Amino acid sequence: MDVIANRKTGGSMSGQIFLNGYEANDLAIRRSTGYCEQMDMYSEAATIREALTFSAFLRQDSEVPDSAKYDSVKECLTLLDMWDIADQIIRGSSTKQMKRLTIGVELAAQPSVLFLDEPTRGLDARSATLVMDGVRKVANSGRTIVCTIHPPSMEVFFLFDSLLLL
């Protein structure tokens, strides 16, 4: 997935990456994609809403109105079902909450393609289903999701539109 997302730094690679039918350069890929890694690292003193807002303001174009950036934060909270924890301090958050926050931080940048590296790692079956329900809502909002996942439950398996099994 690192190669497809143009994040591979070692080794040799060849080929082309296309976005919407056009060959993509590094800048186009960075601006139109989000990448959620397995490790969740945030300022523990911030709230979940503050982390999302920071991402929206830092990563969206400066010409995007502030109101639209705040709207993207609201969209993240809605799609990932985080309104009830929006003002919670990150320190002490559960693994499930941190996984949703990781996805939300990338989503706040308004990418058209979202790469998720093991979004259910470390979660029990119920929590994994809740996180992937949120991912399904993100996909339903018109974004493309590329996700690596190890043995998903049947419920999670049926949330995917297309599968590539390796």
57: domain CATH number is: 3.40.50.300
Cβ atoms 107, 145 nearer than 8 A:
no
In a domain, 40, yes or no: yes
In a domain, 134, yes or no: yes
In a domain, 112, yes or no: yes
Cβ atoms 132, 140 nearer than 8 A:
no
Closest CA to 92 of 61, 52, 46, 33: 46
For 17, the token pair is: 């990456």
Domain region containing 150? 33-157
Q: At what angle do helices 95-107 and 48-59 cross, to 10 degrees?
A: 20
Q: By 3-state DSSP, what share of the chain in percent is helix, strand and coil, each rounded to 5? A: 40, 10, 45
In a domain, 10, yes or no: no
Q: Where are the alpha helices (DSSP H) in the chain?
A: 26-32, 48-59, 66-79, 95-107, 125-140, 154-157
pLDDT at position 89 is 96
Q: At what angle do helices 125-140 and 66-79 cross, to 10 degrees?
A: 140
In a domain, 8, yes or no: no
Q: Give the chain's end-to-end CA distance (angstroms, integer).
A: 12
pLDDT tens series, the chain, 166 aa: 666 666 667 777 777 777 777 776 666 666 777 888 877 678 889 999 999 999 999 999 999 999 999 999 999 999 999 999 999 999 999 999 999 999 999 999 999 889 999 999 989 999 999 999 999 999 999 999 999 998 888 898 888 888 777 6
d(CA 17, CA 43): 33
Q: How many domains does the chain have?
A: 1
